[in-house]
Chains A and B, each alone.
Chain A
Amino acid sequence: MYMVLVLFGVSLLIFFLARVMPGDPARLALGPEATQEQVASLRHKLGLDRPLYTQYYVFLRGLFKGELGMSLITKRDVFKDLIQRLPATLELVMTAMLIAILGGIPLGVLSALHKDRTIDQISRIFAFAGVSFPRFWIGIMFQIAFAYILGLLPITGRISGDPPTRITGLYLLDSLIARDFPAFVDSFKHLLLPSLTLSLSPLAQITRITRANMIEQLRKDYSIVMRTIGMPEVVNIYKYMLKNAFTSTLTVIGLLTGWMIGNAFVIEQVFSWPGMARYGVNSVLRNDFNAVVGVTLVIAVGYVVINLIVDLLYGYLDPRIRLKR
Chain B
Amino acid sequence: MGLVGTILLVVLLIVALGLIVGYNTLVTLRNRAKNAWAQIDVQLKRRHDLIPNLVEVAKKYIQHERETLEAVIKARSQAVSVNADDFQERVRAENFLTQTLRSLFAVVERYPNLKADAQMMKLHEELVSTENKIAFARQFYNDEVTLYNTKTELFPYNIVAGMFNFTKLPLFEAGEEDRKEVRVQF
The answer to whether A and B belong to the same complex is: no
